[in-house]
Amino acid sequence: MVSSPNIPDIVIGRLPIYLRALTQMSQQGQTFTSSHELGQRLGISSAQIRKDLSLFGDFGKQGTGYQISHLLTQLKQILQVNHEWPMIIVGAGDLGRALAHYRGFVSRGFRVVGVFDNDPAKIGMGNGDWQVYGMDQMVSFIHKRRVKIAMLAVPAETAQEVSDRLVDAGIRAILSYAPITLVVPSGVHVQYIDPVMHLQRMTYYLKSDER
């Protein structure tokens, strides 16, 4: 793996897409693939895929393409998901609980280890991996378990305040489901999931007579 100080973020954003597709191919018993096949599957040009991957090293061979298991290992190392990250969820409402029960995290580098909420009726709920704790226990939990990643499933009105507390406690990556733009210090990473944004991006293309 080549050291890679200045890779554009847009390229980094495509690596998880490649990782997911390659994982799927591997699970289906496939051992080799090509930039052409990957591109077809993902709707990305094969030239773009070759260019992206070449920024990190020489993974493919002219003629035989990419060995999937090797590329998987490399991509996981680059994205640092070759080990498991403990992760907390703030907010144990419908969404927070759905996320806590989601079974797709563990095989891909993440494990929910705690959920935090102010509602006494929810405190104590949980499974073998996590349980719901009160918000007053959040900071000490983050320290003790050395958690660096949080998912934010709280209402828009409290999201910034909770984000501030998470950052103060040592959280360095926040995946926010609250529909507001958070202000965080540099060095803290934020990604947003807002289903309405994806929907609005598609309605642009729908014919008006289809409404």
Residues engaged in binding a copy of itself (CB under 8 A): 9, 12-13, 15-17, 19-21, 24, 41-43, 78-81, 83, 85, 87, 93-95, 97-99, 101-102, 104-105, 108-110, 148-149, 151, 172-173, 175, 179-181, 189, 191-206, 208, 210-211
Residues 6+ apart with CB under 8 A from 47: 35
Based on CB atoms, which residue is closest to a copy of itself, 81 or 135?
A: 81
Cβ pair 152, 175 in contact under 8 A:
yes
CB of 50 vs a copy of itself, minimal distance in Å: 19
Q: Quick one: three-class SS letters along 3-57?
A: CCCCCCHHHHHHHHHHHHHHHHHHHCCCCEECHHHHHHHHCCCHHHHHHHHHCCC
Based on CB atoms, which residue is closest to a copy of itself, 104 or 128?
A: 104
- Sheet holding 60-61: strands in order across? 32-33, 65-67, 60-61
CB of 99 vs a copy of itself, minimal distance in Å: 7
CB of 133 vs a copy of itself, minimal distance in Å: 20
Based on CB atoms, which residue is closest to a copy of itself, 61 or 203?
A: 203
